[in-house]
Structure 1
């Protein structure tokens, strides 16, 4: 099963021609934003993918608020932005918030591109870009598009994922994070990023995905191991989910979201 999963994830990377692997600008060429950008999105959304690719190619970290179908967080998105639509970017550094993937990508390039532009090397019509992203989602059979029926979690700190958007192994982990409705911080490490040294210093080698869970103190490499960890602790295979505050465990539903 893991082999089939890997092959289809590689296929999604091929469909996007390796977008989200190589940076157009790295953090050393421009100051890091004082506050982290926030993105309301879900992994299976083709429009969200376009924004995530640009964020990685600009070597930008950001906070993910998953809003897959069935997520309770969709109500918060409607209150904040006025409608349930993803992607939705919030930049606390400039007070900017916006919908529409093409508008978000243009904003990110203008604000954080340091004179360069993330995206396709040759001009590609938006409709072609959208079609390619839809095909990538279809290859993955909609993984990361629907949130499972899970309880409200309180006092959970955001997990951190060291990530490269175009990596087929990182994609597998992001899909599960989206389906489990877990807020997380994306630390983008495209090829050539100076931030890769931070991961080597922290964990001993440069390899993604790498997950850090401040709620349990666990840190681990390997996509399958990370997925097993997430499913065991936060997922549908969990019988009891212990509170971070040390309260009595809460039951976790195993039903699918509607």
Structure 2
């Protein structure tokens, strides 16, 4: 029952943002070196950046910095000089950036098709009312570190998670990763066209799912099998591969939270 409540809250959070962070390009300009984002799931300013990452369909490394956490907050302060989120490290351009709007301009400049930031992403309100409301509706999950758990050392290898920003089931897993301070590589699986819309078991286009030829989803399908379903977690430290948000959360708590 608790998990179902989380799902309902996560769906409401996505609706409040108007579905931003769902659709993206089929042919991303993936950087040679991984982008690194220091952030936390419940931050409305970080959410802005994650939405653009999905729009550009970029993969990136996430270093969760929940309030009360120390593992990556200390690391990012050593890099940038202050604890402010989000914080982007782009080793491809030698850039380190604070401020969500500055990061968004940087992403479109270097990894967008035209090098220009689209109007809908150029002028965010100073107070992110909708994103903040989404955080509240989502129960403020992914804001604070989980102090009830017995902390372990960070795993040797980054966990890997496939999903997209607006996916409510993916949001639940990202919140858990944040609260456990587990770094991970996020593989965006944006919706590339209308045939991709809907859940894996209930897409708008009936019949066998066929991704756009030459698109990013075509490559993802080879990884997942006969359909694309998110979230999908791979833990290279243990060899575990899991679908279903409830199963993933249960695994993360058992493996890294106690």
Residue 141 of structure 2 is matched in structure 1 by 143
Q: Indicate yes or no: 2:108 matched with 1:109.
A: yes
Q: Indicate which of 202, 216, 225 corresponds to 1:195.
A: 216
Distance in 1 (CA, whole Å) between partners of 2:121 and 2:104 is 16
- Worse overlay, 85-94 or 117-126: 117-126
C-alpha displacement of 1:156: 2.2
CA contact (8 A) 2:105 2:122 kept: no
Could you list the structure 1 runs, at least 4 aligned residues long, displaced by more than 4 angstroms after superposition: 116-125
Distance in 1 (CA, whole Å) between partners of 2:166 and 2:155 is 31
Q: TM-score, normalised by structure 1?
A: 0.84
The DSSP-based 3-state class of the residue aligned with 1:6 is: helix
The DSSP-based 3-state class of the residue aligned with 1:127 is: coil
C-alpha displacement of 1:195: 2.0
Q: Indicate which of 45, 48, 57 corresponds to 1:47.
A: 45
Distance in 2 (CA, whole Å) between partners of 1:74 and 1:125 is 26
The one-character-per-residue Cα deviations of 1:230-253 (angstroms, maximum 9, x if unpaired) are: 111112xx2xxxxxxxxxxxxxxx
Q: Judging changes above 3 Å, is the alpha-carbon distance between structure 1 residues 122 and 85 closer, same or farther for their aligned structure 2 residues?
A: closer
C-alpha displacement of 1:124: 5.6
Residue 68 of structure 1 is matched in structure 2 by 66
Q: Indicate yes or no: 2:113 matched with 1:91.
A: no
Residue 19 of structure 1 is matched in structure 2 by 20
- Worse overlay, 140-149 or 182-191: 140-149
Q: TM-score, normalised by structure 2?
A: 0.84
Q: Indicate yes or no: 2:7 matched with 1:6.
A: yes
Q: Judging changes above 3 Å, is the alpha-carbon distance between structure 1 residues 230 and 154 closer, same or farther for their aligned structure 2 residues?
A: closer
Residue 204 of structure 2 is matched in structure 1 by none
Count how many residue pairs are aligned between Structure 1 and Structure 2.
Answer: 232
Q: Indicate yes or no: 2:193 matched with 1:172.
A: no
The one-character-per-residue Cα deviations of 1:106-158 (angstroms, maximum 9, x if unpaired) are: 11111111117676748765236x11111111111210011123435155210
Q: Indicate yes or no: 2:160 matched with 1:160.
A: yes
The DSSP-based 3-state class of the residue aligned with 2:161 is: strand
The DSSP-based 3-state class of the residue aligned with 1:137 is: helix
Residue 197 of structure 2 is matched in structure 1 by none
Q: Judging changes above 3 Å, is the alpha-carbon distance between structure 1 residues 125 and 183 closer, same or farther for their aligned structure 2 residues?
A: closer
